[in-house]
Structure 1
């Protein structure tokens, strides 16, 4: 009987796994703050993979592409690569705003004039079926202008933080601008995207509308 009980206990330990046991053991004091993403792995994205997105954007005339969408517990983080070509004047109704997702730009190369502000003129709801709405930045609006907006001359190395609800509007691009996009999605409105999905996307031409 004792041998049988020891065998069952050993089997349970194997089924539960050392990671689960270790995770429980770390909760020494239940009143201490606990990780908001329990036993979550880290994510590494090689520079070579990011560069392939830029090359794809140039070759296929794409602008915004999502590289990853990662669950971090209380939120999701989207990583994108954006390439914009020369722009002499803004397109009509090209002010963008996202209701639930905040964005951070890290400019890699090029320069542009970017106008920011929350008071958007002539708001128009972005169609809910748009790929960017469904997969990248969630529901939001476009507009024709930003009332009392602040214009920034952004260039390589600069960082821009755009809270959800803030209008952002490229009004001039001398040659091009490439930037890494970080999207903060606390409501988890966009789908997850991992390394395998990224590789599949890069392996073939993007479908129309991407």
Structure 2
């Protein structure tokens, strides 16, 4: 299991570097890396406030920003009918399933669109302009610890079943810089 985690982490790094390589050009202003320590990650994950989706940091990387978030969802019973989820207009997400498992649906035919208010944390800090929706005919897949899923901006995604829980890291390339660079979760400031 440890070898699977090491391999999955290496693959996550390859995916993120590949995605950002086309949008990131060295800048004279960017001359250092940004760290997120395990202590910081766990402090945000286990913090008293923040809900399901907790942004850790948003970093200016030159011509783009990148955000790192941690998400935790409890059990969801399987449902019939359209999947319920969200679409982020511009920001891509790369999920690395840290623990747990569930069924994730992406894509499909969108229905019941409801825009998320512009002053919501979802829009201002997490993933930019977004809307909630339902989807039929999307791609459904079972994901578990170590899996990686790349969800481009504009693609519906939602969970239709979670057995016990799912905790996952979300790397969020932001080439349009809609998220506030330099933002740090107050739990670790």
Q: TM-score range by the shorter chain?
A: 0.7 to 0.9
The corresponding residue for 2:90 is: 100
Residues 1:37 and 1:203: Cα distance change in structure 2 (over 3 Å):
closer
1:162 aligns with 2:138: no
RMSD: 2.3
Shift of 1:39: 4.6
Q: How far did 1:42 drift?
A: 0.6
Q: Which of structures 1 and 2 has the bigger CA Rg?
A: 1
Give, in whole Å, the separation in 2 of the partners of 1:174 and 1:101.
28
Residue 202, structure 1, aligned to residue 187, structure 2: yes
Q: Is the 8 A contact 2:67 2:172 kept in 1?
A: yes
What's 2:3 paired with? none
Report the Cα distance in structure 1 between the residues aligned to 2:44 and 2:49, rounded to whole angstroms.
10
The answer to whether 1:148 aligns with 2:137 is yes
Asked if the contact 2:83–2:158 (Cα under 8 Å) also holds between the matched residues in 1, the reply is no
- Relative CO higher for 1 or 2, CA cutoff 8 Å, sep ≥ 6? 2
Alignment check: 8 A CA contact 2:72 2:167 kept? yes
SS of the residue corresponding to residue 119 of structure 2 reads coil
Contact 1:93 1:142 in 2 (8 A): no
Q: 1:62-141 to 2 correspondence within 5 Å?
A: 62-89=51-78, 94-141=84-131
When the two structures are aligned, how many residues end up with a matched partner?
Answer: 163
Matched residue SS, 2:46:
helix
Q: Within 2, Cα distance between the matches of 1:119 and 1:77?
A: 29
Q: Distance in 2 between matches of 1:118 and 1:164?
A: 14
CA distance in 1: counterparts of 2:92 and 2:25, whole angstroms: 23
Q: Residues 185 and 152 (structure 1 numbering): CA distance in 2 closer, same or farther, change over 3 Å?
A: same
Q: Give ranges in structure 1 of 5+ residues lacking alignment.
A: 1-33, 205-210
Moved over 4 A (4+): none
Compared CA separation, residues 35 and 122, structure 1 to 2 (3 A): closer
How far did residue 60 of structure 1 move? 4.4
Shift of 1:78: 0.4
CA shift in 2, pair 1:51/1:172, >3 Å: same
TM-score by length of 1: 0.71
For 1:20, the equivalent position in structure 2 comes to none
User: Could you list the per-position Cα deviations for residues 81-131 of structure 1 after superposition, in whole angstroms to 9, with x for gaps in the alignment?
Assistant: 1111111146x9831001110000001000011000053122221111111
Aligned mates of 1:191, 1:61 — CA distance in 2: 17
Greater strand fraction, Structure 1 or Structure 2: 2
| Structure 2: gaps of 5 or more residues | 1-23
